[in-house]
Chains A and B, each alone.
Chain A
Amino acid sequence: MTQTPTIGFFQMLPLECKKLKRTGCLPAVVLCGLFAAAFPLANMLVRPEAFTTLPGDPLSILADANWQMIAMLNILLSICLCCIMYHTEFADRGIQKSETLPVKAHLLFLGKGTILAVSGIVVILTECAALGFCALHWFPAYTFDSSAAFALLKFAGFQWLMLLPTMLLMLCIASICSNMWTSLGIGIILTFTIYVFPQKNLLLGLLPFSTPYHLLSESVSADQTLLYPAACAAETILFALCGAIYPSIRRYHS
């Protein structure tokens, strides 16, 4: 008797990508990256002297001026992506069909989470490229050598890690709520309430939806280089576990 072959993680990824094929996720990621990249460019085009005269590292000047809005756009993109990823499952009861497949339930979540993390890399690299371009074009002192490239990549990696807990928490929420407006509503409420909460409070600052606003330069100047990355890594693992375990507890009835 032959056993039904179960689908592994690496066979699951192309399947998840296929599900997103006609939802417009890929153009949304690209457009969000470009739209966010337009903020530093617009700022520099309209009032370059407000920034070029500031003392300090060009990259951190640009990040200080623009990252708040860029981070908010990244969070909003994560919310959209999570909502749509599970909307395609819940609409027409796709999730119940998925459950009958020889797929481990947690792979569904982890596959989606991986796609989300990769799209995070894409947007953040686009935005960092825009920051690098602005620095190169408007700041005469900035030269793009290997150390500058390394600094830019380090910045991108740090901001990506800051975004991960938000993405995974939102994916958990989207996997719990079968109506898209409920998960969207919770996402919007969390984004904007945490945004008005004081970021200086350390405990509130370490929450998902708040960490994406935190900059690498802030961590360095406060001498807490490891605190934020460690907290984000822990939160990411926690939410990944929660999301992976949840489907085996719950049955998706409608």
Chain B
Amino acid sequence: MTDPHEPEHNKMQLKGIMGWVEYRLPWVGLLNDSVGTNYPTPRNLNYWWNFGSLAGLALVIEIITGIVLNMHYVPTAEGAFASVERIMRDVNFGWLIRYVHANGASVFFAVIYLHMFRSFYYGSYKNPRELVWWLGLIIFFLMIITAFTGYVLPWGQMSFWAATVITNLASAIPVVGTGIVQWLWGDFSVGNSLLGRFNSLHYALPVAIVGVAIIHMWALHEHRSNNPLGIDVKGPQDTLPFHPYFTAKDLVGVGVFLLVLAGLVFYAPNMLGEPDNYIPANPLQTPNHIVPEWYLLPFYAILRAIPDKLGGVIAMAGSIIILFAVPWLDTSKVRSAKFRPMYRQFFWLFVIDAIVLGVVGANAPEGNWIIIGRLATFYYFFHFLVILPVVGWIESPKPLPDSISTSVLGDKKPVAEPAE
């Protein structure tokens, strides 16, 4: 059977009903080309490459638990808090589903941050994977909006006041600001209308995330994964089929991921949450400290680092927008930090800076925290705008190995060597 019109990937020899379906809808072939034996993958990927599949798993967990929660949730200012408590008390396994959903969001963000730092360390965003990076950033942005709208739904004190603070940011925009805020609220105050639309958005945006994630993988599969050496695949000796090698490796990550999630859900389900959110929303009483969930604290710190409201909003938006320029701000042609002695130092400084910003975001903006917050915010932008381009120009990278296979097999190093 040599039909010239039949595309290369469509050569799954299946019998019976599977063959009948495959001839018409080559789904087994598609899977095989995407995560199967026909998807060549750099043989030297280390465990830092597990976070993509884990992010997908986290998304699925969030969607499934979220659909079930929404069956019982009442999106009104009067009923929301009590409906969440009903889920915790009277719905069969409701407590489990809600704790998985709430802690799943935290673990999802942790996975995404590790996935992004992997990209920073190994230069995965560089030519020709700029659009893979962009699509990932769009997912990240959608995740932030989804997580924030979700944080508001239980309608506790933190929900209400976080919604108030964040929607009020739009009022910093000159002239039209107040109008925009009221448009966001659908009312003259934070209340029922806002809760209803946040519920709607919280349900709708994950669908968009699924869509962008598919395009993210589509773009990835064109030039395939980067690898710890950051050099291109030169031939079949540099790769292994995705299945069974990387399916097996991804499953190890899945096991560890589920252990972490289960540890949180069963033994510390409220550790990452704010106690104030178990107090019903009260528009007349502002909590002492209004804080977002931990995964948004660095951005919250940047927002508060600028003494001017509009300036803070611009800085916070800028801190995410600037990430889109990273493939061009990083002027080095060498991808992996393994061969970039100078960049590697700055990578770790940036990691520290991000953690410092998180700590600053968790603390009330007083005393030294203000100064630390401003310095860390300055360094955040300095890293991208100055360090990335300049280091690329002045650094002399170490010599790159000839190929993945000689590097990996030549000196009998283990394939899956741990990252630095």
Q: Do A and B bind each other?
A: no
Where the two chains meet, the residues of B that have a C-beta atom closer than 8 Å to any C-beta of A are none
Where the two chains meet, the residues of A that have a C-beta atom closer than 8 Å to any C-beta of B are none
